[in-house]
Amino acid sequence: MAVAVTDRIEKNVLLRAPLARVWRALTDAREFGRWFGVEFDGPFVAGAPLRGVIAPTQADAEVAKMQQPYTGKPFDITVERIEPQRLFSFRWHPYAVEPGVDYSKEPTTLVEFTLVEQANGVLLTVTESGFDTIPLERRAKAFSANEGGWALQMTLIEKHLARSA
Amino acid sequence: MPARHSAGAKAGIEESASIFFALGDETRLGLVSRLCDGGPSSIAKLTESFDMTRQAITKHLRVMEDAGLVRRSQQGRESQWRLEPRRLAEARRHLEAISAQWDGALMRLKKFVEH
């Protein structure tokens, strides 16, 4: 349905690692930063805002190279819920692309990670929702501004997948 | 996902903005779904399924027509409205781009916890 399509993204991935390991990688702010490519000022605390800056990922050299030019750019989130080994969620401004603009009063999208332990690992689901509340002008701007960057990233992902297959 | 934070080319802004304006309304999204599932339709039929006046529905269709999301053709005495799938695909592509960013991030997480 077209209605759902514009408001929400949902992804699943099976991680072949113990639940405790996955939980730590998601909710220890320093570990999160290492794979995601961000450096936070402190730990994740439910309900609390947290400042961060882009810092190249340590999980992939190619992506790190691509993130390099953005090092130090602000990356702020507000943690929503932390339910041990089950759910972690935060809000952010998904299209905060323009330098010098104060985004703090604008609507955010909600990013939610849920974990389900399985016999062969952990099924992780990530959803990002609330796109329909983002100001239209911002969406359009961010989308067109980012098209080049996304295309590049997609190529990198494909390369990465081909290599690790 | 640093690409989200990058500034870049501004080309096509107005064009994308009109799509998102057209889709940023419950009735218009409903009309998209209806035309998507039910195929081309007349104003009379659309009015029936939406519990709104013919004028209100027409106004929404015009907004979508300006954004290039729908197109009308004359069939006898009545106009038939149909979806312009290419434009809708464009709007979807934007969301897919963010979706691809998540694919990349999750792939890195996988590498991170499995090694």
Please give the ipTM for the structure prediction: 0.72
Task: Please give the C-alpha separations between residue A19 and each of A15, B53, B104, in angstroms, as whole numbers.
Answer: 9, 55, 21
Helix axes B26-38, B54-66, angle to 10 degrees: 80
pLDDT for the residue B53: 92
Q: Minimal Cα–Cα distance from B52 to chain A, Å?
A: 19
Dump strand ranges (E) for B1-114: 41-42, 70-75, 78-83
Task: Find residue A53's DSSP bridge partners.
Answer: A39, A74
Q: Minimal Cα–Cα distance from A103 to chain B, Å?
A: 12
Residue whose structure tokens are 């989308």 = A143
pLDDT for the residue B9: 27
CATH class, domain B13-114, is: mainly alpha
How many angstroms separate the CA atoms of B9 and A148, rounded?
8
CB B30 within 8 A of CB B71: no
User: Largest Cα–Cα distance in chain A?
Assistant: 48
**From A9, A142, A157, residue closest to B107, measured CB to CB:** A157
Residue to test with chain A: of B6, B15, B34, B37, most A Cβ within 10 A: B6
Written as tens digits, the pLDDT of chain A (165 aa) is 333 355 778 888 999 999 999 999 999 999 999 898 889 999 999 999 999 988 888 777 877 887 787 788 888 899 999 999 999 999 988 655 556 667 777 778 899 999 999 999 999 999 888 776 665 555 555 544 444 443 444 444 344 344 444
CB contact under 8 A, A35 and B111: yes
Q: Which tokens sit at A124?
A: 């992780």
Query: What residue ranges do the domains of chain A occupy?
Result: 2-164
| Single-letter amino acid, residue A54 | I
How many angstroms separate the CA atoms of A156 and A153, rounded?
5
Residue B67 has pLDDT above 50, yes or no: yes
| Best CA proximity match to A54, nearest among A92, A18, A6 | A92
Percent of chain B with pLDDT over 90: 23
Q: Does A45 touch chain B (CB under 8 A)?
A: no
Query: What residue ranges do the domains of chain B occupy?
Result: 13-114
- A2-164 CATH, one of 3.30.530.20, 3.50.50.60, 3.40.50.720, 3.30.930.10: 3.30.530.20
CB contact under 8 A, A54 and B5: yes
Task: Please give the C-alpha separations between residue A157 and each of A91, A95, A165, B96, in angstroms, as whole numbers.
Answer: 25, 21, 12, 14
pLDDT tier for residue B6 given thresholds of 50, 70 and 90 = very low
CB contact under 8 A, B100 and A154: yes
Residue B4 has pLDDT above 50, yes or no: no
Q: Does A155 touch chain B (CB under 8 A)?
A: no
CB A140 within 8 A of CB B16: yes
Query: DSSP string spanning A85-134?
Result: TTEEEEEE-TT--STT---TTS--EEEEEEEEEETTEEEEEEEEE-GGGS
